[in-house]
Amino acid sequence: MGKGSTAEQDRRWRAGMKANEPERYRALLDANNERNKKRRARIRADPDLHAAERAKLAERARLRRAQIKADPELREKHVQRVRDRFYVDAYGITLEEYESLSAAQGDLCAICLRPQPEWSRMQRLAVDHCHETGKVRGLLCDRCNRGIGLLGHHEERLRRAADYVTGTLAAM
């Protein structure tokens, strides 16, 4: 799948889709898979077609990138589409669901109740989810998300860390 992806994400990607992916994207994936099968069959029948088709697709992509770069309105729509697809692929939620979750939390981190810091490289709150079930738990700022990640998402470690900070952790 790509750099930084987990083995579980790679497995789900190879399987074709996530179990919690919205139904509207399943139909889209099925249609794309069918088109790709037909395209691969054409390429196997005529290997020279592959080079010509790749060149044609590369030129089309280059022109589209230039068009998106030149038109601010088109660029904004493109960014929204890419962002929506990212949330669906990574967490099984749409951009609208992310926005409603963000509004429900008041655009604040679910743990520290602060907005995303200005210095953070991440401009939006991170989606916190269970790595075993894929269920979305809420939105976190960069620091809280990293803290939970560094503690391995283990409830007992998180409780012991909280007890340690408050001074109530019993000696071993």
Which is higher by pLDDT, 132 or 65? Answer: 65
Domain with 154 in it: what CATH number? 3.40.1800.10
Domain that holds residue 128: 106-172
Tally of helices (H runs) and strands (E runs) in the chain: 7, 2
Q: Could you tell me which residues come within 8 angstroms of residue 93 by beta carbon, excluding any fewer than 6 positions away?
A: 87, 101, 127, 136
Residue whose token pair is 């200005």: 118
Contact 21, 92 (CB under 8 A): yes
Are 35 and 116 found together in one domain?
Answer: no
Residue 6's CB: how many other CB atoms inside 10 A? 10
- Grade residue 11 by pLDDT with cuts at 50, 70 and 90: low
Contact 9, 1 (CB under 8 A): yes
Are 23 and 67 found together in one domain?
Answer: yes
Are 81 and 22 found together in one domain?
Answer: yes
75 has a pLDDT exceeding 80: yes
The per-residue pLDDT for range 33-73, each reduced to its tens digit, is: 777 777 777 777 777 777 777 788 889 889 988 998 999 99
Q: Is the pTM of this model over 0.85?
A: no
- Grade residue 103 by pLDDT with cuts at 50, 70 and 90: very high
DSSP 115: P
